[in-house]
Amino acid sequence: MNLKGPLGIASGNAACFLPFPVIAPERFEDIAARYEAQSPEAFLPSGSHPTIVAGYAAQKASLAKTLRSYGSATYNLFLLGAPQDGGASVFLHPLSRGTINIVPSDPYFTEPRVDYRALTNPTDLDVLTEFVRFTRRCMLFFPSKFPPWPEIWKWNLCSKQRQQF
């Protein structure tokens, strides 16, 4: 038996890996087009080296194809066995990019500076919003597990929380 890769992780007893067009059939093309139209340097740290910008431009083209593809998973939902444990949805290909930099004054004994830059690309929030909508549609048979929409916005996707990242 081959127990390698994400399917070999013992974190739940039911999982699905779905492409973005299945998650957001009416909106995936608009979201992908808006992401594709972004300038590569617009959401990278200012002063990024031209090779970094060029590399991200190539990666961005690939990620835009992934957002449109029925053959590439973007969303992962896994459910745990106990009712109180619930489950989690995972954004498999986030679009924001962080940085890892060494400290020039002490490159050997100082930990590198890590800036995750989570949710710095607004398209991440668009995709996550579609994940929440999809998950709520799928989980209607567990109404007590999910707060009403206004509560979700306060709880997970509000602009104040986005600024904290």
Q: Residue 13 has what pLDDT?
A: 63
Using alpha carbons, select from 25, 5, 53, 36 the residue that is nearest to residue 134: 25
Please tell me whether residue 15 adopts helix, strand or coil conformation. Answer: strand
Contact, 92 vs 75, CB < 8 A? yes
> Residue ranges of the chain with pLDDT lower than 70?
1-13, 80-87, 140-165
* 5: Cβ contacts below 8 Å, ≥ 6 apart: none
Give 31-60 as a DSSP string.
HHHHHHHS-GGGGSPTT--HHHHHHHHHHH
Tell the residue number behind the tokens 């974190």, with chain if given. Answer: 11
Contact, 40 vs 53, CB < 8 A? yes
Q: Residue 154 has what pLDDT?
A: 44
Q: Residue 148 has what pLDDT?
A: 54
Q: Residue 138 has what pLDDT?
A: 77
C-alpha to C-alpha distances, 19 to 43, 45, 77, 88, nearest whole angstrom:
24, 29, 12, 16
* 77: Cβ contacts below 8 Å, ≥ 6 apart: 15, 16, 18, 87, 88, 89, 90, 135, 138
Using alpha carbons, select from 90, 125, 123, 65 the residue that is nearest to residue 15: 90
pTM of the model: 0.75
